[in-house]
Amino acid sequence: MTVHALTAKEVTQKIFNKEPLFILDVRNESDFSDWKIEGHYFDHLNVPYFDLLDGVEDILEKIPSDKEVLVVCAKEGSSVMVSEMLSEAGLTVSYLKGGMKAWSEHLEPVKVGDLKDGGKMYQFVRIGKGCLSYMVVSNGEAAIIDATRMTDIFIDFADEIGAKITHVFDTHLHADHISGGRMIAEKTNATYWLPPKDAEEVVFDYQPLEEGNDVVIGHTTISIQPLYSPGHTIGSTSFIVDNQYLLSGDILFIDSIGRPDLAGMAEDWVGDLRETLYKRYKALSDELIVLPAHFMIIDELNENGSVAEKLGALFAKNHGLNIEDETEFRHAVTDNLPPQPNAYQEIRETNMGKVKPDEEKQREMEIGPNRCAIR
């Protein structure tokens, strides 16, 4: 009997639509506990495929008959095998096409809203890893912010909507994922901007991104204003787009704030982080819609799958913005830091252009969740 494949895109839609799904994850226990597919109404059972080689009889009664069942593994092969065994035992199940590898690389474009003069703001949700990238479109021109290494998705999307990519930005030197910014800029002859304080060791040419360098997309009114906002890295820069949106990079998230330690400078940067969040951001309009570079948990997704919230609402609800005492804040962001992202040093060096790992190696470096925040 043949078994049906579900694509990463189809599973993403189930998350956005809050559908139930039963996931039989057949990876080994440590990989599963590190990182898995999460949805509002997803249930999980983890049984490694190598414990099922002699048969699936032992787990049949643990698999519900009233829910759609998805078998997941690292790259697909083992989930196909287990799906076929379950299918022979009389169950209807699907497997995840491309496994967790495809899951980690899937980007779902979501329109966040309209800009003046018919422009649009799109968010690219990397659902499996929690990275968020942006495309600002106006009058046939597009700017991309914090692109992931799946560069074709951005270039094809711009083609489809008839926009030419003219500017590419990174809010900071990323430590959790490999930036696609430089490659997109090379392929499209766009200008690549990086904050110079994060780029001291980079080995390629870039346009230094500093406050005051307003960039205009399209030929009229959409301006992108950089706002120096150190703390996660020393160069971290936010953007105010069209006086509507605050692209906060890895400084401020919906339910958490950035961690200051991924360049090994936690003690030095915690003061900058506080200054940015409690003074610079505080001085901005509460009406700005915050668009961060990551989400951490599925509850941060809005109804349409986007990750966005008004700055005023975050000042009211986000714990990291409500620690009055400075010493307490220092402790909160430097004690008990979560584990660092997988291969974060190698990822930083890749983003500086110092090392050039092949695609397979890049994939392996990025495996797992992003871990850029402190809750």
Partner 1 sequence: MNADKMLDAKGLACPMPIVKTKKAMNELESGQVLEIHATDKGAKNDLAAWAKSGGHELLDHADEGDVLKFWIKKG
Q: Which residues are catalytic?
A: 73
Structure tokens at 226: 């950089």
In terms of Cα–Cα distance, which of 231, 236, 260, 225 is closest to 171?
A: 236
Which residue among 74, 96, 142, 333 contacts partner 1 (CB under 8 A)? Answer: 74
Is the CB of 73 or the CB of 168 nearer to partner 1?
73
**Number of shown-chain residues binding partner 1 (CB under 8 A):** 16
- 339 makes contact with partner 1 (CB under 8 A): no
The answer to whether 185 and 178 are in contact (CB under 8 A) is no
Q: Is residue 204 part of the contact set for partner 1 (CB under 8 A)?
A: no
Residue recorded with tokens 């008990």: 336
**Residue 324 class from Cβ within 10 Å (0-12 exposed, 13-18 middle, 19+ buried)?**
exposed
Q: Which CB sits closer to partner 1, 27 or 182?
A: 27
Taking CB under 8 A as the criterion, the residue among 9, 10, 41, 51 binding partner 1 is 51
Q: Which stretch binds partner 1 (CB under 8 A): 48-56, 200-208, 315-323, 331-339?
A: 48-56
Using rule CB under 8 A, residue 73 touches partner 1: yes
User: Taking a C-beta distance cutoff of 8 angstroms, is the pair 201, 354 a contact?
Assistant: yes
Who's near 110: CB < 8 A, 6+ residues apart?
122, 123, 124, 125, 304, 305, 306
Pick from 56, 69, 70, 81: which binds partner 1 (CB under 8 A)? Answer: 81
Give the shortest CB-264-to-partner 1 separation in angstroms.
27
Q: 78 or 306: whose CB is closer to partner 1? A: 78
Q: Which is nearer to partner 1, 48 or 180 (CB)?
A: 48
Smallest gap from residue 31 Cβ to partner 1 (A): 6
| Residue bearing tokens 């919906």 | 254
Cα separation of 227 and 281, whole Å?
A: 10
**Sign of the C-alpha dihedral, residues 324, 325, 326, 328?**
negative
Q: Is 77 in the site for partner 1 (CB under 8 A)?
A: yes
- 31 touches partner 1 (CB under 8 A): yes
DSSP state letter for 154: H
Nearer to partner 1, 98 or 230 (CB): 98
Q: Is 24 in the site for partner 1 (CB under 8 A)?
A: no
In the chain, the amino acid numbered 154 is F
- Name the residues that contact partner 1, by CB under 8 A: 28-31, 48-51, 53, 73-75, 77-78, 81, 364
